[in-house]
Structure 1
Amino acid sequence: MPGRQAGGIVWVEDQPVPKEIIKTTRAFRERLLADPYRPAYHFCVPEDVGRPGDPNGAFYYNGRYHLMYLYKREGSGFSLGHVSSKDLLHWRHHPDAIGPGDGDHGVFSGGGFVDRDGKAVITYWEFMDDETREQHGDGTYKGRIFGIGIAESMDEHFDTWTKCSANPVIPSTDWGITVAKDQ
């Protein structure tokens, strides 16, 4: 399996990140944290949460900005973290909105909004991991198809999210898309 190179260090993506990369990244992070403009103008994924991904599902409701962000913990699939802010400078961390489960290996990019009744809705890609796909080569898991999913929250701070029982609302097997991967 071909490896990638970063700062002279070669690693294989499906393997744990080498300790040298973690050490270098933490040193760079400390340098960034000393910058007087950071994190005042940039949201930062908390240390040791996992590999950060891109922001997703931002919306404004009832005086707060809400932001979902992708991240991946070592040994797990991608999850959507959740933070909110009144001023976009000071952030409150909420429990994760959604993550891997029920045969899927995590979630990927999506969007978010709040409907007229105050229900928050996020859309996202759900996909299975390589092992599950190899065991169930037909693009399903226990008869379950993957694709675009929806999760909803009705509580005051949007701390509790429920995946829609009708997921995937848009199945992906019609197009043969059962996995999403950044390259």
Structure 2
Amino acid sequence: MTRTPRFRPSTAGRALAAAAAALLALTLLGNSLGTAARWSDTAPLETQAVSTGTLDVALEPARATLHRTDVDPTTGALRRGTTDLTGAADALSALAPGDTVVVTTRAVLDVEGANLAATLTVDPGVPAGGAVVPRVELVPVSGAPPQPGPSSWTVTSAHDGAVYDVTVSYEVSPDPAAQGTTVTPGPLTVALTQH
């Protein structure tokens, strides 16, 4: 049987091939073109803008009137009179039982935000149980009406842009114990507070 001789590179050829492979490895690993764990990649992530909601109440200028029942000195008949107190300083002296001071304003709500809930409160500035009895009324002019409450109401983003007439009536108590008392009311306050 005859054998076909296989070609074997010479020792010098093998050494030259090994040296070339080593030189190539050094070249690739020794610069930024190699695989020395310097690979990286970036991809932009598309995001949406994030914004906060708003919570605000704007009030129109308030108006104040005095509603009083007088006795006509000539006929003795009872007559109801109304006096505009808007802008008048110290116009509330010597109130009598049954007199009522009515303050009205208009509130515009700015309530924007997902899952936003807030409480709209009207503080008449007078403590309960005194000589002057406050009564708060909130009537929707436009927008969704709030849930009922004595002087506070829950509002949500569904009430955004809603307009309400705020009326606070201060009635002088007919109780004889109220005679001669002085009441120093605090400011009438309309507030919107997030839950």
Find the structure with the greater CA-based Rg.
2
Using CA pairs under 8 Å that are at least 6 residues apart, name the structure with larger relative contact order, 1 or 2: 2
Give the TM-score normalised by structure 2. Answer: 0.21
